[in-house]
Structure 1
Amino acid sequence: MDVQSETFQVEQLKRNVDNFLTHISEDTMKTSLQNIQKRRAENDIKVVPVDVLIDDNRRLITSLRENNIFNIGDLRRFDSKSLQIVLKGAEPEEVERLVKDKDEMIRDITNHTFPKIDIDNLTQDARTLLDYWYFHTTYKNEVEQLKNETVTDDAENLLKTMKKKRGIFMSWFQSSSEKEKINAAFHQFEKVQPELNQLHKDVDTLYSELNNDLKIKEAFMNDSASFYAFIESRTGVSSSQHAGDLPSVLVEKITNMDLDVSLLTGGTLRPYQAFGTKYALYNKRTLIGDEMGLGKTIQALGVITHLFKDNKTRAFVICPKSVMANWAHEIEKWTSIPVKIFHGAKRDEAFNEWLETPSILITNPEHTKNIDFDALDYIDCLIIDEAHLIKNPNTQRTKNAMVLAEKSEYVMMMTGTPIENNLNEMKHLIGILQPQIIKEIDNNPRMNEPETFKTIVSPAYLRRKRIDVLKELPDIEFIEMFSEMSQKERQYYNDAVREGISGLMKMRRAAFTGNNINDSEKLANLIEICTEAKENGHKILIFSFFKDNLELIHQTLGTQSAGIISGDVSMNERQQMIDTFTHREAGATLIGQIDAAGVGLNIQAANIVILCEPQWKPSTELQAIGRAYRMGQTKNVIVYRLLSENSIDEAITQVRDEKLKSFNLYANDSSVADVFKAQEIEINEKDIQKEAFEIERKRLEESQGA
């Protein structure tokens, strides 16, 4: 046995154990925790407005702002004497009280800042926290065994004795008892070697995990609530997953706001949606960047209905033309507020009615050029959906939006795109909303630090990811998205209705006969969902009954599509497409004929499902959804149901769902088990076809008679 080599290996093993335990030690974790808290507190202090200290003294607030003192960070450098010089007209007592309150606020922020981490921009301290949490939960037993191991000390002591072994000649000079001790050490070392080898393997495994950035990040993304609960237990400071990157003092202010959404009669806001609504009301001019599917539209309606109760009843919505119908539908679904559409031949009539009556006006960015700006003296609330469409300050639609924003007391921009990835675009939009924040960005030398940047913009920009509010979301969420048919599509549809029940198939696919995103709102909405999904790191399954629809979608998506699974595709080819789809990056789509791809395949790489048209039987849709959803998975699934207004889509949904009322099939908060029970219900397809067609025949007759 090479004692020198064994000694080196044991010493190396012991160093590895010590280094690993030091890296995930309580002391190391606490140091990193304090570093993160300190940096976060420094950032928070710079964004908390002075209004928080003196919201009942507008004169003093105005005086502070006139002297470029907007937030606690600006105020921090002043004591009573120096502040009195700046605020010449202020009473000494109120200046002293202001400085005292400022100092207390700074202490409060420092002591109660929650160290939230950005998984996409991990600092070394944040990674240390993640490592500590990961190994003290996932490998709790292994870590404890490592802390309590004694085999390396035992081996080192044995090796010290073993080193005394001499050659045949020199051993003559050693006593018998010493030789016995040396031989016993060799014998004992052989016994502990298996334990040393196992420890070596365990340490290698732990180091392999430590170096696996992706695995540790995935653990956080799959159970961020556990991580933050762990942090709370170590700091005693509670977190709010609703609040994005807002300072805790502002979170408390916003949370305690009164919110009156009694006019929001179509449902109840989830807690994170209620917070987003309050946030927009508190800050007045904001950009809501919540990830897709979190209900930005509902939060906007929460803002509007709250303001309506406060007699602020002139609301204006600017959105892409392809979602104007969906906005109107959502307003009618959630509220009883009248809707006016500024589009088409009757736009001026709609505009004048809106000026005279409490209502919501909807238009698209291109049509803002037709607004009579001179007649519009004020707007109570302006909503700009898909705000990235006004990112270019040189376009006329952006200039028009800026004029409208100047006339509005409340402005809520919305985008599902992670706009913080484009600094210039974000600065442009926030500059429209709160220009003082842009001054802070330009003057702050730490703006290149993601954490600092996010905190500075937090009074204007709120973004929550699905992972932040996962516990408030159902396992499967159904989102209905309405669109209007183009003139060409409507003509095709009406001709199909006149053919009688034999025209049903043409009626069902009419909304894709525009053949491009400019002439088919349904196709445009589908592409927008896919684009947003890509930017948010998701993959998409798309289902339709009609092969020509699938081919059109495939061609429009281009390289984003991994292929079409139809009844003509062999099982080997299907599996190849699925493998390609699984290994592609975010944004990959797999397109399937619902009867062929919806059965017998496992495609869990996706968590966005798009149903291009309603099917006669719910079980057909649910089998397709089941390709993406499996009980117990960590990601919830969003199902977009694309529907055309005043069409067979609505008729099928109406007739079919009436037969399923007892199952509450499409209620977002129903349990997954209840939803999937609906597969067992037998529905007569021909009965639905006849009833749905009859609804559409009568509707066409009435519309033409009118």
Structure 2
Amino acid sequence: MGRSEREAVARGARLHTAARSLLSDHERAVRAARDALAPILDEAVARTLDVMPVARLQEATEGRLRLDAVERAGLATVAQVLDAGPGRLQQIPGVGRVTSTQLLGAARRLADAVHDSVAVHIDVDRPEPRTTELVRTLHVLVEAGPDARRAVAAAGALDRRLGPLLDTAGPAAGRLRMLVTGRAGRARALAAVDEVRGVVGEAERAGTEGLLAQASVDLLRGPASDVAAWVDFELRSAEYYGLLGEISGRAPDTAAVEGFLPEGIAGQVHGQHLVDDRLKVSLRGYQAFGARFALARRRVVLGDEMGLGKTVQAIAVLTHLVAEGQSHFMVVCPASVLVNWTREIEARSALRAVPLHGPGRADAFADWKGRGGVAVTTFDALRGFPVPGGGELGMLVVDEAHSVKNPLTLRARAVAEWAARCERVLLMTGTPMENRVAEFRSLVRLLDAGLADRLDGDAGLAGSVAFRKAVAPVYLRRNQEDVLTELPSLQHTDEWEEPSERDEAAYRDAVRAGNFMAMRRAAYAHPEGSAKLRRLRDLVREAAENGLKVVVFSYFRDVLDAVHGALEAGTAPVSGPVFGPLTGAVPPARRQALVDAFSAAAGPAVLVAQIQAAGLGLNIQAASVVILCEPQIKPTLEHQAVARAHRIGQLRPVRVHRLLAPGGVDERMVRILTDKARLFDAYARRSAVAEATPDALDVSDTDLARRIVEEEQARLGLADGSDGSASGHAPQSPSAPAHEQPPS
């Protein structure tokens, strides 16, 4: 009871002061951002109320109000009712004090609901003083980075622990105070001093005091210049919008963030701690939940919709496992995204990425075995590596896991062998269902054979809600619209173009031959007379005039060549530079280089890409116009392609144009695609309304092609043998189209 105790209390007090100081600095920075947000939010609310019809007041009162007199008085919107106030409302014949009070109460409830739900979009193309101030204040918090976030969390914990302890230990800070304190008080003070020593010791070992000091410095630097803040916003808008959601209090619905998991499983996930010290980025709330789900459940499918950051969630899981002492991890992915995975690991974490690809992969594998890190390899290359022994691998991550949905393929067998030897497995896919529940069951079997057995052949027909409940132990899925309210709008337009005479002739020839794939691309057989190409050039020209970048997707190589030629024809290209074609024949590193060059191009540009190659794993946020040259057999191909542009980091509204010819294969495919998309929605997107039918589950792509060919031959009168019909022959398989080079 002397100098040692006084020093311990003094050290605790200094640490407590540093923690309180950081909390104050952080609160000041947050308050500045909230103050900058308030007028923008108020304007967004006002705009919404200005166009909200007064009839909505009936909904807010369950039809109890009569609004005829109000509308006759010229009050057509909710905003006008609020502006009128009780005085003017009561001047309207038939509206007394009680009715006016009810009207205003309903209007205010609607205004509050709008205020709680309206999303603020920051327009990078039209910066104005208010949005510039918001971006500058957010820049302070973003620039401080994840270390500041961790420091603030540590400061809050220290404040909660040290505050009461220092109050109790107060008498030990001075000899006289201890003398006048009773025996029980002295005992409590000495016990508190011991606890203060423990807290201070923990902080010193963790380097917390330095972390607090650096975070305070970062938060006190003040906003950057307008230009620097806007440039940084364009580079990492997802982080700005994430912070904006936090400071505005507009967090996504908790149930949506948790993938509508049953309460018991969600509770287990909440109890899972996540150590993110080795992450270089801050996680969104739903991303942190996804990482904890993978840790708590150990062997899972992360089925988030494209664009929600499944990769960073996987990296967060790996950084946590490193903190627990694990050292070796394996990521298996398509060759097209191997470079992207390596980049993401290095940019977003302190982990070591080891690509196992190409001629030197055997040496790289030996290096990884010796030194550890995150090995990244392809499905085909995985088969050449020895399967690990039990406990050697901290986690197996399989990206685009629907690639191994067929358990009979060599790649699926290799993944199954590795998964069987790993305690932790993370399968990642935004499209786990595609057309058959059975295919999803094959993924579940990689994780939990018992659960897969319980998902018998009729499980899907029991309904989407029951199915999601059955797979909840291993499956988590969230949708963009539920958790990314800040994403700019996504507008789909079907561009129906009447075929030219040459288009019609090419189409009839393809139908007569029973060639399904030739039917799909007949509109591009004669580029000089193609109606679709004419419309495509118009769309690209319009985008270029507005300074926008365009990505053009097709399934077919010869269509891509036709598009490339059409865009570069003439003395003056309509689009700016044209990049590509990006196809399955292009090496993975070159694919990423093409995307990088397209993104870096100043002003408008076009990327021409094969939908199977560029629709898989690459991020094309620079594009704000997407053109689909033809409808796809699988709705997931279109979803994937659009999600390459409309995803986290996108700054502008995305417009999707699908080029279609009426009356033929396009129209039939659009109708069938709608049915397939409904099935996908029911099982992968949590729809309780759209239920599957056996026919929807069982139709194969070959059957689809044969059916369309036969229907078109009949419609065009080309089904009899005298006309040269090949209707007696099976149509060309959609899985191996002519003039098509499949992606690796």
Q: Quick check: TM above 0.5?
A: no
Query: What is the TM-score when the length of structure 2 is the normalising length?
Result: 0.37
- Which structure has the larger Rg? 1
User: Comparing both chains, which one has the higher relative contact order based on Cα–Cα distances under 8 Å and sequence gaps of 6 or more?
Assistant: 2
